Amino acid sequence: MAMGKYPSGIGTPYPYPPLKFRPTKIPIPVTGYSLRVAKGKKKAHFDDEHSHRAVNTALWCNFLVFSLKFGVWLSTSSHVMLAELVHSIADFANQALLAYGLSSSRRAPDALHPYGYSKERFVWSLISAVGIFCLGSGATIVHGVQNLWNSQPPENIHYAALVIGGSFLIEGASLLVAIKAVKKGAEAEGMSIWDYIWRGHDPTSVAVMTEDGAAVTGLAIAAASLVAVQTTGNAMYDPIGSIIVGNLLGMVAIFLIQRNRHALIGRAIDDHDMQRVLEFLKSDPVVDALYDCKSEVIGPGFFRFKAEIDFNGVVLVQNYLERTGRGEWAKQFREASLSEDDSELIRVMSNYGEDVVEALGYEVDRLESEIQKIVPGIRHVDIEAHNPEGLSL
């Protein structure tokens, strides 16, 4: 007998063989995380327009902030302002990558990618995170360390103060738009904001929010660094601020890389949703047993579900006869059995067998439709008839 699969993961075996679900109903265990994620939350229709708005807002805000920082760096030669300038360049490039990824992910499925291009946003989000790590974090830290012992107090420091204040307002406005997008995404997936940040299926708005949050924090660090230089006269605080900003960007990049890595590898859907689907299947009279149930997130708000089902042939035929009527088939079998020629009986049995196969297809379509009603995000349902007496791989 084939071993079943644990509902919360892909390919994780049950600690016991698949169970016959009638007459005893035995609940399938799930982890505590799923109930924390979805309990008491009403899911809304997923719409990535908020992610688009957050990315576009951040894109133009970062371009404006870059222009301001570039001007003040030319006039002050501050190391921490150079770090902030590099930070803004990285942010602008990353937002451009995110915008391209969002646009590409909307392409319709084709013969080469039958499940669509939804995961393309994960690819460009990952490239964006790597860019933050290499350009934003690495270059900033290296520059700060190189100038740690020979730095000079920056000139025209009051210009830097004005630019930092203006940039703080611009980045803060972009951050508020990103936070709103994250809230909408969490509502669409029935999660709390914290769980959505760590486990949500769309990392784009999370990437914008964390990058904008790092930008606002970096500006505060830059301001503190320049105030320390102005107050103490010690120019070392300037490259120290640059190093701190670089480390901040590194932590943001590592977080985003991990988020997108899980999305690209292929995560299972929320355990609570998987539990609801399996509870429905095992309670349906036409289902005798379940084998090898798997799920995968194929895009933000779009899922795939697969299950092998041992169908109850008796219930399947009973359902078919209730829909078509018993009398006509009973009449045909009686007449064929009285015929001296076996060909008539074989013909009736062949027609009946053909209709039973169609009845199985009807039950599969019914189960697929009910599954998609339970979890509307499941766009692709693959149900296979399983023979428990046959060979299993």
Where in the sequence is the domain holding 369, given as residue range(s)? 270-385
Strand partners, 27: none
Quick one: 86 and 184 in the same domain?
Answer: yes
| Residue where a domain terminates, one of 243, 265, 287 | 265
Residue whose C-alpha is closest to residue 192's, from 375, 32, 41: 41
* Strand intervals (E) in the chain: 287-299, 302-311, 378-385
| Residue where a domain terminates, one of 220, 249, 265 | 265
Quick one: 256 and 322 in the same domain?
Answer: no
Question: What angle in degrees, to the nearest 10, is found between the helix axes of 237-265 and 139-146?
Answer: 160
Per-residue pLDDT in tens (0 to 9) along the chain, 393 residues:
333 333 333 333 333 333 333 333 333 333 333 333 333 344 544 556 777 788 888 888 888 888 888 887 887 777 777 777 877 787 788 788 888 888 887 787 788 887 778 788 888 888 888 877 877 788 778 878 887 777 777 766 777 778 888 888 988 888 998 898 888 888 877 778 888 888 777 777 888 888 889 888 988 998 898 888 888 888 888 888 888 988 988 888 888 888 888 878 878 888 888 999 999 999 999 998 898 899 988 877 788 999 999 999 889 888 888 888 878 788 888 888 887 778 888 888 888 888 888 889 999 999 999 999 998 888 889 998 887 665 443
Which CATH number goes with the domain that contains 76?
1.20.1510.10
| Residue where a domain terminates, one of 265, 294, 315 | 265
Question: How far is it, in rounded angstroms, from Cα 223 to Cα 220?
Answer: 5
Quick one: 237 and 357 in the same domain?
Answer: no
For the chain, what is the domain count?
2
Quick one: 61 and 158 in the same domain?
Answer: yes
Quick one: 174 and 89 in the same domain?
Answer: yes
